[in-house]
Structure 1
Amino acid sequence: MLIVGGLLALAGCSDDDSEASNSAPSETSSSTRQSASPSSTEDAEQAAVLAVYTRSWQAQADAYAKASSTGTDLRKTTTLRALGSIEQDLKAMRKADQVTAGKPVIHPGHPKVMAGEIPTATLTDCVDTTNWTLIDKDTKKKVPLPSTRLVKYVSTAKLEKWGTKWMVTELTAQDQSC
């Protein structure tokens, strides 16, 4: 389930159609590979992973605030696989005439970076949606959500390094509070 599922899925927002673009992300970034010791190279990779993860979350918050990914940086930080779930949520929100107000607060841990033909990274986060609420687009009133939903929950992100940049490939909300 998508990371934002803690906010939306428990409110009954889901749809099977996806409006994700088929184009590959085109943003470029400077390489984090430098002449340095292995530990500083790893630190640079971890910093790059955290930066992309944080940008992806900002882009998600921007998209959910208007129920559309248009004009956001989602395609620059998130692969089509992860974007598909986000687009499903956004479509359901548009259908219900809902958007979000406020912002989630993320507390990502240190990413675990794995070398390979395609380098990968995994990180665990504590997402706080206390001040990120679902609202009716027209009335601006909060949409009632189940009292049992997790407001602070554990999430996991997986990333891959595509050339010189990291991309979020999977976002998973855990049914676990933090």
Structure 2
Amino acid sequence: MLAAFDAMWTERTKAYAKAADDAKGTRLEKYATLDALGRIRNDLDRMKAAGTVVRGESRQEHATVTALDLTSKTPKATITTCVDLSAYEQYSTQKKAVIPLPTNQPMRYAARATLKKWPAGWMVTTYTPEGGRPC
């Protein structure tokens, strides 16, 4: 399940670097279901409308399984991770300039993901950044 979460994160990073065409050229649909995928697509729509992309990347580290239910009809897991924005830049493709992050934006914060095990494998069903919770 951690491998599925890492793969979703990698594909999400690719999509944010382009911020166009509804994540085409990524394999997000292999690793994220409707809710998690919808959140990413909404981000991409906002970025496309604003003419922004992400350069560098937001990294996640110390992903840990914090809950696991293998007895349900559809096994479920919760992963917590630490998001690190130290190498992240929002870039305006129109102005050809870096857009500074808001001064109140934490550079490291916790995030939570829920995964379910489907016949094709583990998939991220929800992803929730918890920007108010440091890690």
TM-score (norm: length of structure 1): 0.70
Runs of 4+ in 1 over 2 A off after TM superposition: none
Separation of aligned partners in 2, 1:105 and 1:84: 20
1:99 aligns with 2:32: no
- State whether structure 2 residue 10 is matched by structure 1 residue 58: yes
CA offsets per residue over residues 107-131 of structure 1, 9 Å max, x none?
1333132111000000110010110
Task: Tell me if structure 1 keeps the 8 A contact 2:51–2:92.
Answer: yes
**RMSD of equivalent CA atoms:** 1.2
Which residue in 2 is equivalent to 1:131?
A: 87
Larger radius of gyration: 1
Between the two structures, name the one with larger relative contact order (CA 8 Å, sep ≥ 6): 1
TM-score w.r.t. length of structure 2? 0.91
**CA–CA distance in structure 2, aligned partners of residues 140 and 54 of structure 1:** 30
In 2: Cα distance, 1:51 partner to 1:83 partner: 17
Letter in 2 for 1:90: L
Structure 2, unaligned stretches of length 5 or more?
A: none
Unaligned runs of 5+ in 1: 1-48
Cα pair 2:89 2:100 within 8 Å, conserved:
no
User: Match for 2:75 among 119, 122, 127?
Assistant: 119
Point out the structure with the larger strand share: 2
Give how far 1:164 is off: 4.2
Q: 1:154 aligns with which of 96, 110, 114?
A: 110
Q: CA deviation at 1:140?
A: 3.4
The count of aligned residue pairs is: 130
